[in-house]
Amino acid sequence: SYELTQPPSVSVSPGQTASITCSGDKLGNKYVCWYQQKAGQSPVLVIYQDTKRPSGIPERFSGSNSGNTATLTISGTQVMDEADYYCQAWDSSSVIFGGGTKLTVL
Amino acid sequence: QVQLVQSGAEVKKPGASVKVSCNAFGYTFSGNYIHWVRQAPGQGLEWMGLINPNRGGANFAERFQGRVTMTWDTSISIAFMELNRLKTDDTAVYYCAREVDSGGYGRWFDPWGQGTLVTVSS
């Protein structure tokens, strides 16, 4: 079965750039989206179609996808960005989530 | 404003069943698939399956087949997920989410419901 692999945790200082990776076989051939989940809240879409931001998502969030790796980049990370982040793709007719990455901003 | 509102928390005993509802507001219910995703305490997101309110039919993740039923009522814009033969490790927050389909250019979930905590304990 298809798997998406994320690092369990990433740490970044406020104002710096955070990069969260999501790896899968030929992932660049699929569309990837990313969700942000703050403690005690439902997931929120932050990137879709590999690179696009929904309305209301700050410009500091960006995405890329090539080869076997998709990357969520947060430029000028703010304390409010501290959350769990999940990548998601489709394999055949099933939805696949990455295991999630806890982003710590300190 | 598109919104999904789920039913309240449930406590069940092992072997019982639970039925969670998801009420959709702000869009034409039959126009989008609805998915169900669960999250065990401290764990990641796990996809359970989807319904197609327009043409009918459902598709389940393999590990839930035979134990989950997903239904809906288009007339009142509501979807249901029923999980049978509950086990303690079914304790989780259950989410519904609306799928957005770009017609060949990816599919994603937006928005998600607020989640329903199901606790399975003897």
Segment A54-67 shows an average pLDDT of 98
At B3, the pLDDT band (50, 70, 90 cuts) reads very high
The chain-wide mean pLDDT, for chain A, equals 97
Please check the confidence at residue B94 and state whether its pLDDT lies above 90.
yes
Q: What is the pLDDT of residues B104-113, one digit of tens each?
A: 888 999 999 9
At A31, the pLDDT band (50, 70, 90 cuts) reads very high
Q: Is the dihedral of CA A9, A14, A15, A16 positive or negative?
A: negative
| pLDDT score at B56 | 84
CB contact, 8 Å: B42 with chain A? no
Do the chains contact at B112 and A44, CB–CB below 8 Å? yes
Alpha-carbon gap, residue A97 to B19, rounded angstroms: 24
Q: What is the pLDDT of residues B35-92, one digit of tens each?
A: 999 999 999 999 999 999 988 899 999 999 999 999 999 999 999 999 999 999 999 9
CB contact, 8 Å: B76 with chain A? no
Alpha-carbon gap, residue A10 to B111, rounded angstroms: 26
The one-letter code for the residue type at B40 is: A
At A45, the pLDDT band (50, 70, 90 cuts) reads very high
CB contact, 8 Å: B27 with chain A? no
Calculate the alpha carbon distances from B117 to A73, A88, B19, B60, B100 in Å: 31, 23, 12, 20, 25
Which residues on A lie below 8 Å from B106 (Cβ)? 31, 33, 48-50
